[in-house]
């Protein structure tokens, strides 16, 4: 045992002279990718095996090969051989019982528990002898997933027979077929099972697996297995069914097992292991355990020697670009949504034209369309980029993305490129992005460089409702076998760790909920710090030792994958069938996903296409439809010609086809074109300057609103800077205040070195963008683009001060070599260090700023349409529907209640004619109607039935008429009634709710009678069987209606909002008497004024600060708008639990006016309730 504790590099153990090196290899090892059944990372396990001097290691996770890239890399690092494998669940058809068949969906649970020997599911260890074997394992796993219930993969013996080549199989653990039959005393059947498996894999490729983890009966089982192997003429092999690297990790594994089995530590469950022996033991330990079976030890080496690594990480599997069937492509930007994809000679590709030539031709055509004329400077830049793209061999990738963008445009699907791809002029000319990188002076090397030679990453946002259409196109274009979505591994973070381990430790559910909800989004290993820092996390009454164990367990699994999921937008395309490269499995949303995530999939030679879904773009399209009055839905827009996409900013002078100056009081505007919104709209900038940006993409957070009131934005550049400024890096680097001061002219702009002026001019001498860091490094220190990019990476990730200091010394030395004064060089580098943390890419900021400006324009000129669209696209953005409606009302937009005869599926816009609303605040013009989608529990099918009944006939005349014509669940009808949907037909909600049951019974009877009349040929009777219209008049008189408070509570419960009144209106009389100000009154208060204000708490958050102290920002919402509140550390430590535990607050503080912005600095905080409301008198 001493060898296990004291491994030495030479394989010789302290205290003994025996050479143990290279006499055992672990062939059955579970990593973290066994999801809740592996307590150490693959890298840790490989390092441990290498430290024992083992020449190889196999990783065999449950039904997946997700660890294989990590295994291959780690093994290369440690100089040992990686063996790819899996522990497969196998179904033995012959053993299937009727019960098993009828409980197919329940077998996942069965597969994880100790089962009787006759159970049809068993484990089998598969090892890839070479890359062919790896591909066969991928095929087997794919079939196992695709032919089984989603969470219950199992392979048939038939599939094993079909793909058994180049695979070495071990008979498995106690849950293996052979071992379980022996344990049940069915030796003859076990022998037959072993022979059957040997016939599948080949006699020399199938071994009987012995394990001795000091469990009861293990010795006897091994003796029987050895006897069986002898009888069958099969080899033995020893494994330890490893689930963690060191013995001390057993506790983590046991707790993870409890998470997996939904048990607590005090529960007994057969999945929990009896002891801590499933660790990666040394050769000596394994030798001692299997002293009786030296052959079993020796065979591990023999198997390892037969295996070659399964993965080749140097391959390239992206397909060669081929023109669409028929040789047709589509043009670039000049092709409108109506005619894109139709015959366009300029995009036809001559047969045999190389991809590089096609890319060059399309780029130059696009350049003409974008710039009008290709100047030498433009040509030089495009040549430079094309040279890098083609030298690195990524022309096919660019063309594939271009092809997808073309198709989307031809279908009227709105999209916008984002990320560092916007640094590329080629991407701009191909209309993949909308940022003119040449005009902005953006560095292509931030995106791609010869030195870095990394795979490019072009991210494109598509409108959310049609992103899947784009994905479908890719599947059709390249074939189902060649395309799949990239998986993502949902890893343990702070909240998930607290929830999981809190339950395992038996915390009360209420405590778990409170802890998880109040915990900021931090990694699982930062929970301890959060618990000590945030007052609302403490004082739960839970025993200290349990808290300590919770924190320890959370730290132990930080970043471990918990389960597999689907990447939001990543697709991979492969030249080879994907099942040769990765197993595929079905995701919950019914699409095939890979078993490798976005990082590891590229190591396999594949390139990920990021086709993302952006709800903002969907909301834009919905809003545009409503503005135009087309009422087009996402389904018919493809042919409506409305979907021009990805256009550039229209010049302010050419705004003839953009909007009217103010659409808020007008009817439909069929000529509205989102892509030709004028760039310099004064009214839009005035709105930004007022900080009235709720609903505006990227600019709506309280911090952004506060920035806008001080920045005085008057150009697109200011918006680009805004997007980049409100980030952790600039905030912590103290760049926001100097930027604002210089922007406003309050502070002089100076440069320590004149060479910085052209680089930092656009940001007033402040280092704001990653591109600027690269330019500084190349200009001042003469870094190559690759060196500069390394600096950018070190700076943005900022994982190590030592690394930063190293590169700093390099920077200063090179700058000095170029003649720069050392003090100047050091000062310049200090700018960069100050910026370290979270740098932001200018290209990305510019891409987002484009959408931000346009959505700001929509909010300013079409608030009803845009807010209706944003409300329909929830969840999105920073605010709840309730807050968005408050903001719409504040802007004078009338909000109309749910109405069974007028509400559409989504929020819609109705034009109010006549003299306006009841009060002067209720403006005439476009008004927002609450959509049926807002009703809790309502299904799309129920909405479809309501709308179909309404459209087929006439409006509903009464509640019975509705119940007669629409068959939907009664609880949904009840919700509609309580939410006021029938108010226009039956104003007494209580009476209607009271009678709904009998009314629904009557309606059902009436429908049955009608059906019978139709069936008997007595159609004439049907007309006499209609529901009574005048019904509601006597129902309403039976009982008093709900009170206003009751109606409010029902609406809040069912809709999450109340159209007729705001919660604060109930408090207002008392609050007003107590001198508590409304948000509107706060907006007019003077700087430094002591005030009290109250409202519903909106999005309290604790962004990082330069000082490191905690500052909480929140908004208080009342019936007139929002009041922003700042809570500094001392006040927060006193009232933190109130801020995060109360839906509404009464806050005393002082008014702070900065620029045009107003906020309240909190001094004391109270919970707002009935009692506190009274105390406000």
Partner 1 sequence: MARKIDAHVRVVEGPAGSPSRFYWPDKWRPVAQVIDYWRESGEWWDGEEEKDYYLITSAGGGCYELCREAPGEWALSRVLD
To the nearest whole angstrom, how small is the minimum distance from the Cβ of residue 213 to partner 1? 8
User: Which residue, chain included where needed, has tokens 């990021």?
Assistant: 610
Distance between CA 492 and CA 516 in Å, rounded? 13
Distance between CA 143 and CA 585 in Å, rounded? 9
To the nearest whole angstrom, how small is the minimum distance from the Cβ of residue 216 to partner 1? 5
To the nearest whole angstrom, how small is the minimum distance from the Cβ of residue 171 to partner 1? 22
CB 952 within 8 A of CB 914: no
To the nearest whole angstrom, how small is the minimum distance from the Cβ of residue 557 to partner 1? 16
User: Which residue, chain included where needed, has tokens 């926001």?
Assistant: 736
Taking residue 102's Cβ as centre, other Cβ atoms within 10 Å add up to 9
Maximum Cα interatomic distance, the chain, rounded to a whole number of Å: 104
State which of residues 146, 218, 357, 824 lies at the interface with partner 1 (CB under 8 A): 218
Render 725-737 in DSSP notation, one character per residue: HSSHHHHHTT-HH
Candidates 633, 647, 620; CA nearest to 337 is: 647
Distance between CA 191 and CA 172 in Å, rounded? 14
Q: For partner 1, what does the binding mask look like between residues 344 and 383, x meaning CB under 8 A?
A: ----------------------------------------
Of 543 and 671, which has the nearer Cβ to partner 1? 543
To the nearest whole angstrom, how small is the minimum distance from the Cβ of residue 114 to partner 1? 15
To the nearest whole angstrom, how small is the minimum distance from the Cβ of residue 555 to partner 1? 16
CB-based contacts of 823: which residues, under 8 Å, 6+ apart? none
Distance between CA 292 and CA 343 in Å, rounded? 77
Of 39 and 311, which has the nearer Cβ to partner 1? 39
To the nearest whole angstrom, how small is the minimum distance from the Cβ of residue 263 to partner 1? 13
Instruction: Please list the residues that pair with 410 across neighbouring strands.
Output: none
To the nearest whole angstrom, how small is the minimum distance from the Cβ of residue 545 to partner 1? 9
CB 510 within 8 A of CB 1141: no
Of 18 and 275, which has the nearer Cβ to partner 1? 275
> Which residues in the 474-513 window bind partner 1 by CB under 8 A?
505
Of 277 and 445, which has the nearer Cβ to partner 1? 277
Render 223-234 in DSSP notation, one character per residue: HHHHHHHHHHT-
Candidates 569, 610, 588, 592; CA nearest to 483 is: 592
To the nearest whole angstrom, how small is the minimum distance from the Cβ of residue 112 to partner 1? 20
User: Which residue, chain included where needed, has tokens 């060479």?
Assistant: 755
To the nearest whole angstrom, how small is the minimum distance from the Cβ of residue 275 to partner 1? 4
Query: What angle in degrees, to the nearest 10, is found between the helix axes of 785-797 and 801-817?
Result: 150
To the nearest whole angstrom, how small is the minimum distance from the Cβ of residue 537 to partner 1? 22
Q: Is there binding between residue 250 and partner 1 (CB under 8 A)?
A: yes
Distance between CA 1027 and CA 966 in Å, rounded? 13
Tell me how far CA of residue 35 lies from CA of 61, 241, 253, 497, in angstroms: 9, 15, 11, 14
Of 47 and 557, which has the nearer Cβ to partner 1? 557
Of 29 and 505, which has the nearer Cβ to partner 1? 505
To the nearest whole angstrom, how small is the minimum distance from the Cβ of residue 215 to partner 1? 5
Contact stretch for partner 1 (CB under 8 A) within 158-166, 249-257, 413-421, 727-735 = 249-257
Of 15 and 590, which has the nearer Cβ to partner 1? 15
Burial 305-328 (b: 16+ CB within 10 A, else e): eebbbbbeeeeebbbebebeeeee
Render 181-224 in DSSP notation, one character per residue: HHHTT-HHHHHHHHHHHHHHH-GGGEEEEEE-SS-TTHHHHHHH
- Sheet hosting strand 925-929, strand order edge to edge: 895-896, 925-929, 908-912
Q: For partner 1, what does the binding mask look like between residues 647 and 686, x meaning CB under 8 A?
A: ----------------------------------------
Q: For partner 1, what does the binding mask look like between residues 277 and 316, x meaning CB under 8 A?
A: x---------------------------------------
Of 250 and 447, which has the nearer Cβ to partner 1? 250
Contact stretch for partner 1 (CB under 8 A) within 166-174, 275-283, 732-740, 948-956 = 275-283
Distance between CA 513 and CA 93 in Å, rounded? 44
Of 70 and 277, which has the nearer Cβ to partner 1? 277
To the nearest whole angstrom, how small is the minimum distance from the Cβ of residue 272 to partner 1? 10
What is the rounded end-to-end Cα distance, in angstroms, of the chain? 76
For residue 918, how far is the Cα from the chain centroid? 45
Contact stretch for partner 1 (CB under 8 A) within 199-207, 273-281, 301-309, 1049-1057 = 273-281
Distance between CA 99 and CA 1036 in Å, rounded? 55
Tokens of 504: 């395992």
Instruction: Please list the residues that pair with 613 across neighbouring strands.
Output: 462
To the nearest whole angstrom, how small is the minimum distance from the Cβ of residue 503 to partner 1? 14
Of 229 and 258, which has the nearer Cβ to partner 1? 258
State which of residues 5, 16, 220, 652 lies at the interface with partner 1 (CB under 8 A): 220
Torsions phi, psi for 168 (to 5 deg) = -105, 125
Of 274 and 1030, which has the nearer Cβ to partner 1? 274
To the nearest whole angstrom, how small is the minimum distance from the Cβ of residue 214 to partner 1? 4
Of 250 and 318, which has the nearer Cβ to partner 1? 250
Render 943-999 in DSSP notation, one character per residue: HHHHHHHHHHS----SHHHHHHH----HHHHHHHHHTTTTTTT---HHHHHHHHHHH
Of 250 and 835, which has the nearer Cβ to partner 1? 250
The count of residues interacting with partner 1 (CB under 8 A) is: 18
Of 266 and 913, which has the nearer Cβ to partner 1? 266
Of 401 and 505, which has the nearer Cβ to partner 1? 505
Distance between CA 174 and CA 171 in Å, rounded? 9
Q: For partner 1, what does the binding mask look like between residues 516 and 555, x meaning CB under 8 A?
A: ---------------------------------x------
Contact stretch for partner 1 (CB under 8 A) within 246-254, 520-528, 992-1000, 1027-1035 = 246-254
Candidates 918, 917, 921, 966; CA nearest to 942 is: 966
Of 182 and 791, which has the nearer Cβ to partner 1? 182
Contact stretch for partner 1 (CB under 8 A) within 190-198, 247-255, 374-382, 994-1002 = 247-255
Of 248 and 1164, which has the nearer Cβ to partner 1? 248
Contact stretch for partner 1 (CB under 8 A) within 5-13, 250-258, 640-648, 1070-1078 = 250-258
DSSP state, residue 19: B
The enclosing H or E element of 58 equals strand 56-62
Q: For partner 1, what does the binding mask look like between residues 253 and 272, x meaning CB under 8 A?
A: -x----------x-------
CB 1046 within 8 A of CB 872: no
> Which residues in the 178-217 window bind partner 1 by CB under 8 A?
214-217
To the nearest whole angstrom, how small is the minimum distance from the Cβ of residue 63 to partner 1? 27
Distance between CA 644 and CA 340 in Å, rounded? 10
Render 392-413 in DSSP notation, one character per residue: TT-HHHHHHHHHHHHHHHHTT-
State which of residues 100, 246, 251, 468 lies at the interface with partner 1 (CB under 8 A): 251
State which of residues 18, 219, 654, 1037 lies at the interface with partner 1 (CB under 8 A): 219
Footprint of partner 1 on this chain (CB under 8 A)? 214-220, 250-251, 254, 265, 273-277, 505, 549
């Amino acid at each position: 045992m001493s060898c296990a504790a004291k491994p030495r590099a030479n394989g010789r153990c302290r205290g003994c002279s025996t050479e143990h090196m290279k006499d055992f290899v672990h062939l059955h090892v579970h990593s973290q990718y066994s999801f809740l059944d592996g307590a150490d990372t693959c890298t840790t396990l490989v390092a441990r095996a290498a430290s024992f001097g083992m020449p190889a290691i196999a990783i065999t996770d449950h039904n997946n090969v997700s660890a294989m890239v990590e295994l291959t890399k780690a093994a290369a690092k440690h100089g040992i051989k990686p063996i790819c494998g899996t522990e497969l669940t196998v179904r033995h058809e012959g053993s299937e019982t009727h019960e098993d068949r009828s409980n197919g969906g329940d077998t996942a649970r069965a597969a994880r528990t100790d089962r009787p020997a006759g159970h049809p599911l068993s484990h089998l260890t598969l090892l890839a002898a070479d890359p062919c074997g790896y591909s066969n394992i991928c095929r087997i796993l794919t079939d196992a997933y695709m032919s089984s219930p989603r969470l219950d993969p199992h392979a048939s013996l038939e599939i094993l027979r079909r793909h058994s080549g180049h695979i070495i199989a071990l008979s498995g653990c106690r849950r293996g077929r052979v071992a379980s039959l022996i344990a049940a005393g069915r030796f003859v059947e076990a022998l037959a099972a072993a022979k059957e498996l040997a016939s599948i894999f080949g006699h020399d490729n199938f071994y009987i697996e012995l394990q001795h983890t000091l469990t009861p009966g293990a010795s006897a089982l091994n003796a029987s297995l050895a006897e069986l192997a002898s009888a069958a003429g099969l080899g033995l092999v020893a494994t330890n069914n490893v689930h963690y690297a060191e013995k001390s990790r057993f506790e983590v594994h046991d707790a993870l097992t409890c998470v997996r089995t939904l048990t607590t530590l005090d529960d007994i469950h057969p999945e929990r292991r009896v002891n801590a022996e499933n660790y990666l033991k040394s050769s000596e330990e394994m030798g001692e355990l299997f002293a009786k079976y030296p052959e079993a030890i020796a065979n591990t080496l023999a198997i390892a020697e037969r295996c070659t690594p399964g993965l080749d990480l140097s391959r390239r599997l992206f397909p060669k670009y081929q023109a669409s069937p028929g040789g047709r492509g589509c043009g670039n930007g000049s092709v409108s949504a109506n005619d894109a994809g139709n015959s366009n000679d300029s995009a036809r590709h001559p047969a045999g034209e190389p991809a590089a030539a096609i890319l060059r031709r399309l780029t130059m055509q696009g350049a003409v369309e974008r710039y009008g004329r290709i100047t030498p400077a433009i040509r030089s830049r495009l040549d430079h980029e094309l040279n890098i793209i083609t030298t690195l061999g990524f022309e096919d990738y660019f063309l594939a993305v271009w092809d997808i963008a073309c198709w989307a445009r031809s279908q009227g699907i709105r999209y916008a490129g984002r990320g560092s791809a916007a640094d590329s002029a080629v991407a701009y000319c191909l209309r993949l992005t909308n940022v003119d990188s040449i005009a902005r002076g953006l560095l292509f090397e931030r995106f791609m460089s010869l030195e870095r030679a990394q795979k490019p990453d072009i991210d494109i946002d598509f409108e959310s409702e049609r992103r899947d259409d784009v994905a479908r196109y890719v599947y059709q274009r390249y074939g189902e076998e060649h395309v799949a979505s990239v998986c993502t591994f949902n890893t343990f973070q702070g909240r998930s760790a607290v929830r999981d381990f809190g339950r395992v430790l038996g915390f009360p559910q209420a405590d778990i909920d409170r802890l998880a909800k109040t915990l900021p989004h931090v990694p699982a290993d930062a929970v301890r710090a959060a618990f000590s820092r945030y007052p609302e996390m403490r004082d739960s009454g839970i025993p200290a030792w349990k808290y300590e164990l919770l924190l320890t367990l959370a730290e132990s699994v930080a970043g471990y994958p918990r389960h597999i999921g689907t990447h939001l937008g990543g697709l991979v395309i492969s030249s080879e069938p994907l099942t040769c490269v990765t197993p595929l499995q079905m995701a919950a949303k019914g699409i095939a996903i890979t078993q490798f995530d976005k990082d590891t999939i590229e190591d396999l030679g594949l390139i990920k296409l990021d086709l993302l879904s952006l709800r903002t773009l969907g909301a834009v399209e919905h809003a545009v439809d409503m503005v135009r009055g087309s009422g087009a839905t996402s389904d018919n827009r493809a042919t409506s010609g409305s979907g021009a996409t990805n256009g550039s900013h229209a010049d302010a002078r050419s705004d003839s086809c953009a909007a009217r100056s103010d659409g808020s009081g007008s009817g439909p505007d069929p000529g509205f074109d989102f892509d030709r919104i004028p760039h310099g709209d004064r009214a839009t900038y005035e709105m930004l300057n007022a900080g009235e940006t709720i609903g505006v993409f990227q600019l709506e957070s309280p911090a952004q609103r506060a920035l806008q009131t001080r920045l005085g934005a008057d150009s697109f550049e200011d918006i680009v800077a805004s997007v980049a400024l409100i980030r952790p890096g600039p905030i912590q680097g103290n760049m926001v205040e100097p930027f604002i001061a210089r922007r406003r002219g309050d502070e002089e702009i100076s440069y320590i070195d004149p060479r910085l002026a052209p680089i930092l001019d656009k940001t007033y001498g402040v280092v704001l963008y990653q591109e600027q860091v690269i330019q500084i490094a190349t200009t001042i220190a003469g870094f190559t683009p690759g060196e500069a990019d390394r600096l950018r990476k070190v700076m943005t990730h900022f994982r190590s001060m030592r690394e930063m200091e190293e590169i700093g010394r390099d920077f200063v030395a090179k700058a000095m070599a170029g003649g720069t004064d050392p003090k100047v060089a050091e000062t310049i580098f200090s700018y960069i260090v100050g910026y370290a943390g979270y740098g932001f890419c200018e290209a990305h900021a510019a891409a987002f700023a484009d959408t931000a400006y346009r959505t700001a324009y929509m909010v300013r000129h079409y608030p009803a349409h845009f807010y209706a669209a944003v409300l329909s696209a929830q969840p999105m953005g920073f605010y709840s529907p309730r807050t968005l409606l408050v903001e719409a009302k504040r802007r004078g937009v009338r909000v109309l209640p749910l109405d069974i005869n007028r509400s559409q599926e989504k929020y819609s816009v109705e034009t109010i004619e006549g003299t306006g609303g009841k009060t002067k605040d209720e403006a005439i013009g476009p008004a927002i109607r609450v959509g049926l989608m807002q009703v809790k529990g309502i299904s799309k099918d129920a909405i479809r039935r309501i709308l179909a009944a309404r459209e087929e006939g006439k409006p509903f005349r009464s509640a019975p008429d509705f119940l007669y014509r629409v068959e939907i669940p009664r609880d949904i009808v009840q919700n509609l009634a309580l939410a006021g949907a029938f108010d226009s037909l039956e104003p007494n909600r209580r009476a209607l709710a009271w009678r709904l049951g009998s009314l629904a019974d009557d309606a059902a009877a009436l429908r049955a009678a009608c059906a019978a009349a139709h069936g008997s040929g007595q159609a004439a009777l049907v007309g006499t069987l209609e529901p009574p219209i005048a019904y509601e008049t006597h129902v309403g008189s039976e009982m008093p209606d709900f009170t206003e408070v009751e109606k409010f509570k029902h609406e809040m419960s069912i809709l999450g909002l109340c159209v007729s009144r705001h919660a604060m209106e109930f408090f207002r009389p008392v609050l007003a008497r107590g001198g508590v100000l409304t948000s509107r009154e706060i907006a007019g208060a003077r700087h430094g004024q002591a005030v009290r204000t109250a409202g519903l708490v909106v999005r309290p958050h604790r962004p990082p600060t330069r000082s490191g102290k905690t500052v909480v920002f929140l908004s208080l919402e009342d019936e007139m708008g929002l009041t922003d509140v700042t809570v500094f550390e001392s006040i927060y430590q006193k009232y933190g639990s109130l801020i995060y535990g109360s839906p509404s607050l009464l806050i005393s503080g002082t008014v702070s006016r900065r620029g045009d912005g107003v906020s309240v600095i909190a001094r004391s905080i109270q919970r707002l309730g009935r009692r506190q409301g009274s105390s406000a008198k």
